[in-house]
Structure 1
Amino acid sequence: MKRKVFFLSDSTGMTAENLGRSLLVQFPQIQFESVTKPFVDTPEKAHRIAAEINKEAQESIARPIVVDTILNQDVSIVIENSNCFYIDVFSTFLSPLEAELGVKSAHNVGHPAIFKEDSRTVDQNYMQRIDAVHFALANDDGMHLHRYAEADIILIGVSRTGKTPTSVYLGMQYGVKAANYPLIPDDLDTGKLPNALVEHQRKLFGLTIRPARLSEIRNERKPNSQYANLRTCVDEIRQAETLYRQYRVPYIDTTQLSVEEIAARMLQRAGIERRVASL
């Protein structure tokens, strides 16, 4: 069975999407097709999306699921009255919190921080994330080896194990400067850590993946190639994991993990503190 899911917000949609995905991943037996609609901040926009939801409900076997973080009740009620299973994230939690705290919520739209911070701190956090993302992109796939001394962590692994998205996510969410280095067959055949990585060994973190899944991913990029051949994938993964164990590089299997899970587990195992609070 496939279910359509709408993540709706009057801000960027990140809260609705992150929370919604955390809930839906608990139902692996169901296939979900999602769409995120940010900045739904007027009744007019809400009516257009409600029409889209109703159309989906008519054309599908099951009604859509809506995860909503819209604070304006004039807007959210339009969505609630459409033909959907409706989850209003804020009303679910704000009312009990108001009762517990004895005060009304401010109903601020799009505020990432729930603790008191001045604008200078928020700006510093934002700039730290941006700098870390730029660092990840500039040091992707073994580029600019001379900048590895600046890295908080250096991800290593064979091609298509998730190094780039994890590096960017670490920067975007946590302000962690992550470089990544691809272990190519020439590196693996030596059975030794590449020279560029030797002096940064304490910063290394390895990624691995099941060979069958790696072959599937590579076939999407280069169908029926030696690069995607299962035997090639088996050999490369075996050599990479041997290298990790030989040099005591911590590593993680990414096969069944989201980038969020990879990043969180990696930071925990590497003992790296998050540079800024996550969004």
Structure 2
Amino acid sequence: MHKDIQRRDVFYVSDGTAITCETLGHVVLGQFAFDVNEKTFPFVETEDKVCELIKHIQHAYERDGVKPLVFFSMVVPGIRERLLEAPAFFYDVLESVVQRVAEDTLMKPKPKLQRSRSVGKDSDTYFDRISAIEYTLAHDDGVSLKGLEHADIILLGVSRSGKTPTSLYMAMQFGLRVVNYPFIAEDMKMLRLLPEFEFHRHKLFGLTIDPERLTQIRENRLSGSEYASTEQCEQEVNTIESLFRREAISYINTTALSVEEITTRVLEKTGLKRRLF
């Protein structure tokens, strides 16, 4: 009998960044109840790298007596064949889709190493994304309110409601320039928008969160502080939601949402165009 059948080792492997493998793997494995021990191996392009990877897979198999799950994407035939010799269950994240597209278009695919993330001819869009990330970092947590005319969206909310991770995800994945601003005690007392935001109302979007969850998050950061108290969290959430309603600012509750889900809902509600890379 396997000693730990409720836990599986999962490897995400690619001769590129492995982001596609991770994304698909997370979606698929989210449908199953077992725990996963995840490891990512990007840029497996050489014989030495695939041999080192196989050692890790072999070790996991010998340790638990259970074949690991490997989500992979490989375009170099020799490296791919070598990988498939390892004791694991393999899932090619592109094979079935590529084959279907080839059949439907009557065209043969021309595999190219790291095609999905290369700069090359798409250097303009690549550097646009870098610029978006730099802009978003410079406007994180209310650090700067200059250049708001260049923002695609301005996220508002209380401290620790998910603004920063959402902002960075939107910048990194979609090339959006995001400003995020945390409402502090002085803002709460006045219960009004800053003058800087009045000229960019169409870009404003709010994030809120259940007070109980906010208390838990803040307790992990500053345990026992007034900042993390139940009363303070309830007061801040109630105040900010009142402001959103009064100023007709669209907002969503982030309590049970992942960063990916928050971003998707924000884009859906605002109609912002996704800039894919």
TM-score (norm 1): 0.88
Distance 1:143 1:64, change over 3 A: same
Superposed displacement of residue 185, structure 1: 2.4
Counterpart for residue 178 of structure 1 = 178
Aligned counterpart in structure 1 of residue 79 of structure 2, from 72, 75, 82? 75
Distance 1:93 1:13, change over 3 A: same
Letter paired with 2:60: E
Superposed displacement of residue 223, structure 1: 2.4
Conserved in 2, the CA contact under 8 Å of 1:69 and 1:88?
Answer: yes
Letter paired with 1:57: Y
Letter paired with 1:70: M
Letter paired with 1:64: P
Number of equivalent positions: 272
Identity of aligned residues (%): 36
Conserved in 2, the CA contact under 8 Å of 1:191 and 1:239?
Answer: yes
For residues 123-272 of structure 1, what are the structure 2 equivalents within 5 Å?
123-272=123-272
CA distance in 2, matches of 1:149, 1:226: 36
**Aligned with 1:182: secondary structure?**
strand
Counterpart for residue 65 of structure 1 = 69
Superposed displacement of residue 93, structure 1: 2.2
**After the TM superposition, which of the residue ranges 240-249 and 73-82 deviates more from structure 2?**
73-82
Counterpart for residue 111 of structure 1 = 115
CA distance in 1, matches of 2:208, 2:164: 13
Counterpart for residue 90 of structure 1 = 94
1:6 aligns with 2:11: yes
CA distance in 2, matches of 1:222, 1:36: 33
1:55 aligns with 2:49: no
Conserved in 2, the CA contact under 8 Å of 1:9 and 1:68?
Answer: yes
CA distance in 1, matches of 2:95, 2:104: 14
CA distance in 2, matches of 1:32, 1:247: 44
Superposed displacement of residue 83, structure 1: 2.4
Letter paired with 1:197: F
Superposed displacement of residue 225, structure 1: 2.4
**After the TM superposition, which of the residue ranges 227-236 and 123-132 deviates more from structure 2?**
227-236
Letter paired with 1:266: V
For 1:123-166, what per-residue CA distance to the aligned partner results, in whole angstroms no more than 9, with x for missing partners?
11111111111110111111221221221110011111121121
CA distance in 1, matches of 2:65, 2:169: 36
**Aligned with 1:206: secondary structure?**
strand
Letter paired with 1:251: Y
**Aligned with 1:6: secondary structure?**
strand
Letter paired with 2:190: T
CA distance in 2, matches of 1:85, 1:180: 43
Aligned counterpart in structure 1 of residue 47 of structure 2, from 17, 35, 43? 43
Counterpart for residue 30 of structure 2 = 25
Runs of 4+ in 1 over 4 A off after TM superposition: none
CA distance in 2, matches of 1:13, 1:257: 24
**Aligned with 2:244: secondary structure?**
helix
**Aligned with 2:37: secondary structure?**
strand
Conserved in 2, the CA contact under 8 Å of 1:69 and 1:89?
Answer: yes
Conserved in 2, the CA contact under 8 Å of 1:166 and 1:259?
Answer: yes
For 1:31-87, what per-residue CA distance to the aligned partner results, in whole angstroms no more than 9, with x for missing partners?
333221100112321121111112122333743221101122322233323222211
Letter paired with 2:22: E
CA distance in 1, matches of 2:68, 2:237: 41
- Runs (5+) with no aligned partner, structure 1: none
CA distance in 1, matches of 2:198, 2:253: 23
Superposed displacement of residue 103, structure 1: 2.9
CA distance in 1, matches of 2:12, 2:264: 23
**Aligned with 2:22: secondary structure?**
helix
Conserved in 2, the CA contact under 8 Å of 1:57 and 1:83?
Answer: yes
Letter paired with 1:239: T
Counterpart for residue 102 of structure 1 = 106
